[in-house]
């Protein structure tokens, strides 16, 4: 998986499914198993486990990878799988007022991260993985590197966050300076850059904009590094903020991205522009946000609102 450049999270998920598959078959070696066992395992996920369609598809992808890439065994066509139903859902979207109430409940780095998610449309991990060199204040741009689908893109740097981001970089620089004085100061680098440029890991431009509170020992090579802020910390802060703002919608960090797209479309921006900012490969993915619009020329009003003038209520 690493040779093929697959994400570490995909690696972890695939290994997890392979282990579950082996345990479900009395720890027999996968070479002794085949299509019937794979079909039975995936069907049990849908019937007994009642998992989502995306979860079942991930398990299928993991097992196909195991047989095709690792064991070099071609499974016959899997026709007898009972597939989990794929529901069609519209995204949860906050109003502008609700976004404001949530941001008012946040402070410090959590407020800044949440503001960036809403102000730029980034995913949570895309935001937390930002490096110093990815912020272009002169052009008011943020470069998102190695986003979903291993794609780079550019999105907007909100003008209202320039001062807060500058202050965050000042704090990050102080942390980096202390790490260097203590003999540390390295971060993880993408791909093989660490071998090509051995000193780059300690350079200022490669540091994470939102560094973790503590250094950690990297399990892959034993080197002490400072990673970026963990996503769970932001998710917990967001959950507290939604509760504190007394909002009943099931809002998460990703809801801020949904709200970013919807509010831009409501303001009349072209759907292709929004597609590029979000990093969607197909405009049909972006079109889902048109389903939740309540403004614009195509907005539909209830016949009760059109004809009653309030006389029936």
Catalytic residue among 67, 123, 129, 225: 123
* CB-based burial, 252-284: b 16+ in 10 Å, e otherwise: ebebbbbbbbbbbbbeeeebeebbebbbbeeee
Could you identify the residue written with the tokens 């937390």? Answer: 128
Share of the chain above pLDDT 70, in %: 90
Q: pLDDT tens digits, residue range 137-161?
A: 999 999 999 878 778 899 999 999 9
For 39, phi and psi rounded to 5 degrees? -60, -45
Q: State yes or no: pLDDT of 300 exceeds 70.
A: no
At 102, the pLDDT band (50, 70, 90 cuts) reads very high
pLDDT of res. 213:
92
Contact 112, 165 (CB under 8 A): yes
Q: Kind and range of the H or E element at 263?
A: helix 253-266
At 297, the pLDDT band (50, 70, 90 cuts) reads very low
254 is catalytic: yes
257 is catalytic: yes
Contact 237, 244 (CB under 8 A): no
Domains of the chain listed by start with CATH number: 8-70 (1.10.150.130), 90-298 (1.10.443.10)
pLDDT of res. 14:
96
pLDDT of res. 296:
46
* Residue 46, SS3 per DSSP: helix
pLDDT of res. 291:
67
311 is catalytic: no
Q: pLDDT tens digits, residue range 39-58?
A: 899 988 888 888 888 888 89
pLDDT of res. 203:
93
Catalytic residue among 176, 225, 258, 280: 280
* DSSP secondary structure letter of residue 30: G
Q: pLDDT tens digits, residue range 230-256?
A: 999 999 999 999 999 999 999 999 999
Q: pLDDT tens digits, residue range 165-218?
A: 999 999 999 999 999 999 999 898 887 777 788 888 899 999 999 999 999 888
Cα 279 from Cα 290, distance rounded (Å)? 17
Catalytic residue among 20, 145, 148, 202: 148
Catalytic residue among 131, 257, 258, 263: 257
């Amino acid at each position: 998986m690493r040779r093929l450049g697959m994400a570490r999270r995909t690696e972890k998920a695939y290994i997890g499914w392979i282990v579950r598959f082996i345990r479900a078959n009395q720890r027999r070696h996968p070479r002794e198993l085949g299509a019937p066992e794979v079909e039975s395992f995936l069907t049990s996920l849908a019937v007994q486990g009642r998992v989502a369609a995306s979860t079942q598809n991930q398990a299928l992808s993991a097992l196909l990878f195991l047989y095709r890439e690792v064991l070099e065994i071609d499974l016959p066509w899997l026709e007898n799988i009972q597939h989990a139903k794929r529901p069609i859902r519209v995204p949860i979207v906050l109003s502008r007022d609700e976004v404001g109430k949530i941001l008012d409940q946040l402070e410090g780095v959590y407020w800044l991260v949440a503001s960036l998610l809403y102000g730029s449309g980034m995913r949570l991990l895309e935001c937390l993985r930002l490096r110093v060199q990815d912020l272009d204040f002169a052009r008011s741009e943020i470069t998102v590197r190695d986003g979903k689908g291993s794609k780079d893109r550019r999105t907007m740097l909100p003008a209202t966050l320039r001062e807060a981001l500058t202050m965050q970089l000042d704090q990050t620089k102080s942390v980096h300076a202390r790490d260097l004085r203590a003999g540390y100061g390295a971060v993880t680098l993408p791909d093989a850059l660490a071998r090509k440029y051995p000193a780059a890991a300690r350079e200022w431009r490669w540091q994470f904009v939102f560094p973790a509170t503590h250094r950690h020992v990297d399990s892959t090579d034993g080197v002490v590094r400072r990673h970026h802020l963990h996503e769970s910390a932001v998710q917990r802060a967001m959950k507290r903020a939604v509760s504190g703002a007394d909002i009943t919608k099931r809002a998460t960090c990703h809801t801020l991205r949904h709200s970013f797209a919807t509010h831009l479309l409501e303001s009349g921006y072209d759907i292709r522009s929004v597609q590029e900012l979000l990093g969607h490969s197909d405009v049909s993915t972006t079109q889902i946000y048109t389903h939740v619009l309540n403004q614009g020329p195509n907005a539909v009003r209830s016949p009760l609102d059109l004809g009653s003038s309030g006389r029936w209520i």
